[in-house]
Structure 1
């Protein structure tokens, strides 16, 4: 009798499910960002007046158009979870990849905290309108973050389908307010007299200062890259979803500035917590007030939902590559989600949502995003030099290179200066934080990184190597 040795098959490594299409990518990008139309952007008006707010809207739109173009090319080629982190890992090197991953996690986690703060503030405002003052906001902040974390835990398809629906409703609410005001549904007429009577209350420097919060209109559109490993056709879905998203946001941002600046005094608008909802209240139209209340709630929930998705994917990718403890690189055996990363980041978001002012949380998110955009400029140049257009297949090739890179780097430099004007101490503290984190990675964590396991793209050797 012949002895037969049966070898057990190697255990299959659990992977994220490829279930998303272009509409989900649009919902992820716009869902994260659309809350910027409902709150936060208006601080730019307080920095420099109505004209400065409009200039910040369009200049920031140009910056993010460059971001979307660059991201669409690189991510449609490097279709891996982690987005810009995966790009840095393949193109630049480990230290840059670690920092970029950290930029992403902090930007999205702080944005998530800002959304939760807005939910609590909005409910407190509505309760005050009904005569119930002094509403405790903290339970609603905690509940919103916990519910969305649970939704992300259960699966990405349900999460982003939910985002698709509520993001579409929030976007339609902005259009409805704009059209209704144009058709005379407002009890208060549109008034743009401040443009002539007080065009630049703080001088030309106000336009530069306004750019700081102008970024909030679009911050997070780059998050579409985080779902690259869960998209059915990355070469098609990522560019289509991202470029459609930035066009949607440019339209929504301009309409938002127009309606709010016409209905609200710029002095009030510059410090309002929920400007679009306040504009609807000024109209005196109950239907518009209800619609914009729903729109504000849906936009904040969609944004926080997308932020949990993106931050957890970046954290998961770093754990999988041993940039962080490999414990974070686990995939749930049933739901196929990075569940440990999702759960780990929840208390961090809660700490900032419950203990920090909204403008500082917003600034933390903006600065982390800015550092990531600065990286994109060098990353794009190195990508084109190492792998020219004829060496590897790209899902999308952005035009006019290197003009978008030059424009993006220039606008990032202006944005750093704008942040320094109002939040120089926080800018310095954040830079120190990232420097300390880099030193920790270099001296303590890098020894665990397996460089050979990181490069998953079937590319030829870089040009010149």
Structure 2
């Protein structure tokens, strides 16, 4: 078989007849579908997860961190928008880094994003199961074990995501709107019932001579950055929908920017009102109200039966994110598999619905195993780690995200110089300076994870997964690459960009005929 060798230490082989036809996606999404997908993927961050940071950083630290992270996401999304418009194919972060940093940089970035999205899916399933069981037990007196809920949720949403992108985008938009409505209802009812008392947000006892605003000192701001990211984590996934968007170069940047604006509004609403109703200290406990801070807020001023009904609305928010993040890991694994970085069978799509069902199924199985290990096996072998185990998986997800963010911002700066003649239908209003700002803040969040002793297990676990992944790629994957659209863009210097107009094997004849 013909090969191209010695391209940054990797080898390419011809895709073969019918290769891309078996890996076809369908264009169905416009601006609103993309915006809904972005909101759906992230909105669960307002329902669970963020509040864990209150116990280690305090409300003031989290507020300041939130402002910093909003700046990071705006500058980062501007940069990602420019790259996604120039590279309208499914690879997303992997594609950007592949073009800028070569195949090894592309693989590392893609692997970090795979870990981010698969683990985030597990976290959302965990929180969703908690909300669902609380509502069910309050309304009916029936309770189901966690593993049963996990199986139900994974099976349900793998099935939904496999039914076709058009159904997935519509579902995401509907549940995103419902989720935002639930937060607005909480805000209106909390104010109307006189339940809001802003003195409660500062009820965490300060350490030493620190203030109640920063009970753990200014260093708490650094440790708050990863928790503030949880309000936005996932909005950067929209470039993964490029081959399913009708006009990706125009709509993905617009949907991403408006997504950040929307999420910043609802994130601030929750950050101010939820602790003002319950008190900050009350929603840091896990398991318990720490898993369900918004439900704890409803319970603070409503009867349990009414709060349980509204908890179903909160559950919809979590399920919205389950839909959106599952879409992300499916497309991320699909694009890396289609290019040969992961086993190629993962990129197969269904003949009827044109969705990467194999990647969705395999990612779900991995997610279920993660929950089983973290929530059942680890606490059973060491009860002292039971409380920390849930935080570990959340931080593995955030750790993967910040590594991906840093790699993408480095890629942006390099691509501005490396591919000066590449077509850029959208340009970042903050340019290279904005990318550098986002890079610095992302690095701060990286330090906030690495330097926090509480999350050393998460860092070590991530590094182990990373080393194993890189080792497998070095031994096997680097010799299996295919000229997918992401690889063609990188190898052509940005001249081959849009598979919709050029076809999915635009460079095959140029390269392999010469061999």
TM-score calculated relative to the size of structure 1: 0.90
Q: Distance in 2 between matches of 1:260 and 1:415?
A: 24
Q: How far off is 1:324 after superposition?
A: 1.8
Q: Within 5 A, what are the aligned runs for 1:310-459?
A: 310-356=328-374, 357-388=389-420, 391-420=421-450, 421=452, 422-450=454-482, 455-457=487-489
CA contact (8 A) 1:44 1:52 kept: no
Match of 1:37 in 2: 46
1:385–1:278 CA distance, 2 compared to 1 (3 A): same
Q: Deviations over 1:178-198 (max 9, x none)?
A: 13323x224x34232554972
Q: How does 1:196-207 map to 2 (within 5 A)?
A: 198-207=212-221
Which residues in structure 2 correspond to 1:163-312 (within 5 Å)?
163-182=172-191, 184-186=192-194, 188-192=195-199, 195=202, 198-271=212-285, 272-284=290-302, 289=307, 292-312=310-330
* Alpha-carbon spacing, 1:410–1:76, altered in 2? closer, same or farther (3 Å): same
Q: CA deviation at 1:146?
A: 0.6
Deviation at 1:296, TM superposition (A): 1.8
Provide the aligned C-alpha RMSD in A. Answer: 2.4
CA offset digits 1:353-408 (Å, max 9, x no partner): 333232111111101111100101210011111223xx233232111322222211
For 1:93, what is the secondary structure of its paired residue? helix
Match for residue 55 of structure 2?
A: 46
**Structure 1, residues 25-44: CA drift from partner, whole Å, max 9, x if none?**
11111111100000001112
Given candidates 125, 137, 152, the residue that maps to 2:134 is 125
CA contact (8 A) 1:18 1:231 kept: yes
Q: How far did residue 134 of structure 1 move? A: 5.9
Give, in whole Å, the separation in 2 of the partners of 1:331 and 1:123.
Answer: 31
Q: Distance in 1 between matches of 2:338 and 2:483?
A: 12
Query: How far apart, CA to CA, are the structure 2 residues paired with 1:242 and 1:442?
Result: 34
TM-score between both structures, scaled by the size of structure 2: 0.82
Distance 1:329 1:137, change over 3 A: closer
- Tell me if the contact between 1:173 and 1:291 (Cα under 8 Å) persists in the aligned partners: no
- Range with greater deviation from structure 2 (360-369 or 322-331): 322-331
Q: Return 442-451 or 273-282, whichever deviates more.
A: 442-451
Q: CA deviation at 1:89?
A: 2.5
Change (3 A) 1:176 1:194: closer
SS in 1 for 2:50: coil
Structure 1 portions without partners, runs of 5+? 1-9
Judge which range, 58-67 or 24-33, deviates more. Answer: 58-67
C-alpha displacement at 1:56, in angstroms? 2.2
- Structure 2: any 5+ residue segments left out of the alignment? 1-16, 204-210, 375-388, 496-515
For the residues of structure 2 that align with 1:63 and 1:320, how far apart are their CA atoms?
31
SS in 2 for 1:323: coil
Q: Tell me, in whole angstroms, the C-alpha distance in 1 between the residues paired with 2:483 and 2:348.
A: 19
Q: Which deviates more, 288-297 or 172-181?
A: 288-297
SS of corresponding position for 2:184: helix
What is the CA distance between 1:124 and its match in structure 2?
3.0
Question: Cα distance 1:460–1:143, how it changes in 2: closer, same or farther (>3 A)?
Answer: closer
Structure 1 distance, partners of 2:492, 2:264, is 38
CA contact (8 A) 2:240 2:328 kept: yes
- Which whole-Å deviations, capped at 9, do the CAs of 1:106-163 have from their partners, x for residues lacking one? 1111111111111221133334545838642221221011110011111111012111
Residue 142 of structure 1 is matched in structure 2 by: 151
In the alignment, which of 47, 57, 60 is matched to residue 66 of structure 2? 57
CA distance in 2, matches of 1:462, 1:315: 23
Q: How many residues are aligned here?
A: 450
Partner of 1:3: none
Q: 1:220 & 1:40 partners in 2: Cα distance? A: 14
Residues 333-352 of structure 1: per-residue CA shift (max 9 Å, x gap): 11111121112212101112
Residues 44 and 56 in structure 1, CA contact (< 8 A), matched pair in contact too: no
